[in-house]
């Protein structure tokens, strides 16, 4: 009964009154990308764009994106919640409201946001609500946090296209991906940045649906 109660609380977004207080100072993190050595934080070279993706556990999701030609740098962090400057441990309680997020800085002349959306929808299961496989909680929800009106439109179109593809494939499921402006993005601690490059045998929970997303 205790385990059921614990999991049920972690799958419900906390109220402002119940959210953890957090802190004014950001948690310590990396300055540079462990794989390519580029600066993790702004300012970035001119002409690059930024997008934010929540696909469950951010370790495997980040590796997926840093391998794509045209992606300048990636990082992992938290967004969509209430607690300022949360720690990883705090987010796992379900009392911050944050989702685990991959920040992707990319060159739109080489890889488009639509191509990144296609990868996003195909490489995880966006129909599971507040979980991803065995990872249960608000932190593992599917999310697209946008930085422009153009991204909002593209994300909505990609979601509708993938929902149609799932239906055509006989899947009686509905996409639960949250689409919202980014708001605050908080970098996770250094040990989580590029985790699977530092720990090649580490956990990766990414599992797609096997259905192709019809986005160019």
Residues involved in catalysis: 57
Task: Yes or no: say if 104 and 116 are a contact pair by the CB < 8 Å rule.
Answer: yes
Quick one: tokens of 15?
A: 């109220």
**Cis omega before residue 167 (within 30°)?**
no
DSSP character for 61?
H
Q: What's the start-to-end Cα distance of the chain, in Å?
A: 47
Task: Yes or no: say if 99 and 141 are a contact pair by the CB < 8 Å rule.
Answer: yes
CA separation for the pair 125, 204 (Å, rounded)? 14
Quick one: tokens of 160?
A: 């509708």
Task: Yes or no: say if 212 and 121 are a contact pair by the CB < 8 Å rule.
Answer: no
């Amino acid at each position: 009964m205790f385990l059921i109660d614990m999991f049920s609380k972690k799958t419900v977004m906390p109220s402002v009154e119940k959210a953890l207080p957090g802190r004014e100072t950001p948690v310590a993190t990396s300055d540079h990308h462990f794989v390519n050595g580029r600066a993790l934080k702004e300012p970035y070279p001119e002409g690059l764009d930024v997008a934010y993706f929540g696909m469950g556990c951010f370790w495997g999701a980040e590796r997926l994106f840093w391998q794509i030609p045209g992606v300048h740098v990636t990082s992992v962090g938290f967004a969509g919640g209430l607690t300022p400057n949360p720690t990883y441990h705090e987010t796992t309680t379900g009392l911050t409201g944050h989702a685990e997020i991959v920040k992707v800085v990319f060159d739109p002349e080489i890889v488009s946001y639509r191509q990144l959306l296609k990868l996003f929808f195909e490489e995880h299961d966006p129909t599971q609500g507040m979980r991803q496989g065995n990872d249960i909680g608000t932190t593992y929800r599917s999310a697209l946090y946008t930085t422009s009106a153009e991204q909002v439109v593209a994300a909505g179109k990609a979601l509708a296209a993938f929902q149609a593809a799932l239906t055509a494939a006989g899947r009686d499921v509905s996409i639960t991906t949250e689409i919202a402006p980014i708001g605050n993005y908080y970098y996770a601690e250094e040990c989580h940045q590029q985790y699977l490059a530092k720990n090649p045998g580490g956990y990766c929970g990414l599992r797609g649906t096997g259905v192709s997303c019809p986005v160019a």
